[in-house]
Amino acid sequence: MGITLVLLSSLFFSLSAVFGKIITLNSDVSGVVVTIGRFSMSALVMFIYMVMQKKSFKINNLSPIAIRGIFNALSIMTYYVSFQYTTITKANMLHMLYPGFIIILTPFVLKERVPLSKYIYLILMMIAAYMIVNPDIGIISIGDMLAILSAITASFSVMALTMARKRDDTHTVIFYVMLIALFVNLPFAYEGLLTMPKAVLPYFLLSAFTGMLGQVALTMGYKLVDSSTGALISSNRIVITTVIGVLFLSEPINMRILSAITITIFCLVGISGYFQNRRNNYHRHFIQ
C-alpha cells in the first residue's frame, strides 16, 4: 500500500505541473497564481483533518517550520513560473536536482558529514544538469535558471523539514507550512487571481487538487515504506512528467534529454541510500 501511495503521489504532482503548464500556455496567468491554489487547498484540507481528528494546533518549534514554509513557497513558485519559459520535462528534471544541493549544504547547515559516494553522485548530477540546460547553444534560458533556483530553495526547505519533524507532528508541520506558503504567495498572486480568465479556472482547480492529493499521498506513503524506498519510487516523477509532457503537450525529446533523465534517476536512487541498503542486506544474508 505504501509503494502504491508514493507512486500515486508522483502521478498527482506530475499532473499538477501539467495543468499548471496548460494554464501558462493558454493565458497570461503567471505560475505564481497557479501555486496559490495548491497552498490554499492543502492548508484547508489539513485544517479540516486536524479538527475532525481533534489534533493539536500547538507548535513546539516555530523556527524550522517558518523556514520550511518560506522556502517551500519560493521553491514551488519558481518551479511553476519556470513553466512559462521552458518545458515541464526540463523544469521537472532541474527541480529534482535538489538532493544534490542538499549534499553541498549539509556540512554547513546541518553540521553532518556527507559520505564520499554522495559527492560522486553530485558530480554526475551536475553533468546531467549541464546536459539538460545545454549551454552550448550560447544561452541559458530564464526557465532553466528558475528551475535550478527552485531546486536550491527546495534543498533549504527539505533540510528545514528534517529539523521541524524532530519536535512537531507531520500533520502540524504540513498545515503551518502550507499556511505560511499561502501568505508568502498571496502578494504575488492577488491581482492575477482577480483577473483570471474563466476558461482556465478548471485547470487551476485541477492543478490545486492534484497537488494537494500528491502531498497527502506522499505523507501517507512515507509512513508505510522506508525512506530509501520512498525516494526510489519518488524519482519516477521525472519519467511520469516526461511521458505526459511528450504525449499530451508535444514537448520535444532527444537522446541528450533521455541520457540526462537516466543519469538523474540513477543519482537520486543512489543518494537515497537504496544501493547501499541492498549491499548491506546482501552481506548480511550471504556473507555472514
At 185-219, the pLDDT tens digits run 999 999 999 999 999 999 999 999 999 998 888 87
What pLDDT digit, counting tens, does each position of 118-163 carry?
888 889 988 888 888 776 555 678 999 999 999 999 999 988 887 8
Domain boundaries, the chain: 2-286
Rg for the chain, CA atoms, rounded: 19
Task: Kindly report the number of other CB atoms within 10 A of residue 170's CB atom.
Answer: 15
Of the candidates 3, 6, 20, 5, the residue with the CA atom closest to the CA atom of residue 209: 20
Report the C-alpha gap between 57 and 69 in whole angstroms: 16
Gap between the Cα atoms of 128 and 93, Å rounded: 9
| Cα torsion angle, 44, 48, 51, 55, sign | negative
More confident residue, 1 or 238: 238
End-to-end CA distance of the chain: 32
Q: Mind listing the pLDDT tens digit for each residue in 233-251?
A: 777 888 889 999 988 888 8
